[in-house]
Amino acid sequence: SLIRFIIVERELLADVLSRSKAEYYEKTSFVINILKPLIGVHNLIVNKHTEHERARRMLNPEFHSINLQSTDSIRPDIQSNTLTFSIIALSAFDQSKHIIDDATKKLNEFVDQSIIDRRNGKSSSLCSGQDLLDLLLSAVDEQIRDEVATFVLAGHDTTSNLMTWAIYMLILHDETLQACREEVDRILSNGTIPTYEHLSDLQVIEAVLHETIRLYPAAPVYARQCIREHTLSNSNGTLQIFIPVNTMIVINTYVLHRREEY
């Protein structure tokens, strides 16, 4: 029978997720099988072990501070934003097979066209250097499609989750909302368009976003499967728990983030 162990201790969580413990734990097949129809298997979310490391090394340059700074003038594409939202909504709220198949078809068409346009010179990076798609074009087509689909879906979902809860929290806290308004009026006066350089000055806004992520993380619960016997322990060794093979480690970040001692 499957053993489930729920972690809400920070040090035990670090022990499970540490790169040095990769030989003991892996992503659960249950979650992977749910995501496969939408984002395939060649991506950061689904990949395991060496494939995951390969993908990280390939994509890391895109998240260098220089590249991030150069994206501040990029405006959301309404059509693609609407498309990804529709796909997520359909997949999340209607689990019938034809709905998921249709959503997957639309996502693949969007991703495939983006790849074709870039290869044919019909689109180009808006960053100062290579963007995510440029980096991915060095991979094979199937890998490109899966990685792009992952970033389209995950990027939309996490951002919309953050903004929804941030607005909700601001509605409940008038003083904080007023502080945000005053900061924006001061830093971005006369309709100034925000840039990367403004971020360090928007300290109240940043604090609100961080607090929102703490209270309402995009992944409130996730899991790992033990594939090799292991003993979890905290930093001083006072707490040790033996984990047998096939144990599912459930990580409850929602509870962890709300513990008073942290």
110 vs 64 pLDDT, higher one: 110
Q: Give tens-digit pLDDT for 92-107.
A: 444 455 665 676 677 6
Cα–Cα dist 50/214, whole Å: 30
Backbone angles phi and psi of 79, in degrees to 5? -65, -50
Question: Could you give the 3-state DSSP secondary structure of residue 241?
Answer: strand
In a domain, 75, yes or no: yes
At 211, the pLDDT band (50, 70, 90 cuts) reads very high
Q: What is the pTM of this model?
A: 0.64
In a domain, 216, yes or no: no
In a domain, 217, yes or no: no
In a domain, 134, yes or no: yes
Cα torsion angle, 175, 201, 75, 153, sign: negative
Q: Give tens-digit pLDDT for 161-174.
A: 889 999 999 999 99
Facing residues of 221 across strands?
Answer: 252
> Do 254 and 220 meet the contact criterion of CB atoms below 8 Å apart?
yes
Q: Is the pLDDT of residue 68 over 60?
A: no
Considering only CA atoms, which of 4, 5, 3, 6 is closest in space to residue 255? 6
Backbone angles phi and psi of 108, in degrees to 5? -65, -40
For the chain, how many structural domains are there in total?
A: 1
138 vs 205 pLDDT, higher one: 205
- Note the pLDDT of residue 181: 95
In a domain, 186, yes or no: no
In a domain, 235, yes or no: no
Question: Could you give the 3-state DSSP secondary structure of residue 150?
Answer: helix
Q: Bin 246: left if φ > 0, else alpha if -120 < ψ < 50, else beta.
A: left
DSSP class per residue in 46-103: T--HHHHHHHHHHHGGGGSHHHHHTTTTPPP-HHHHHHHHHHHHHHHH---HHHHHHH
Q: Which of 38-52, 224-238, 247-261 comes out lowest in average pLDDT?
A: 38-52
What element of type H or E holds 222?
A: strand 221-226
In a domain, 160, yes or no: no
> Do 58 and 139 meet the contact criterion of CB atoms below 8 Å apart?
yes
Give residue 147's domain range: 41-155
In a domain, 232, yes or no: no
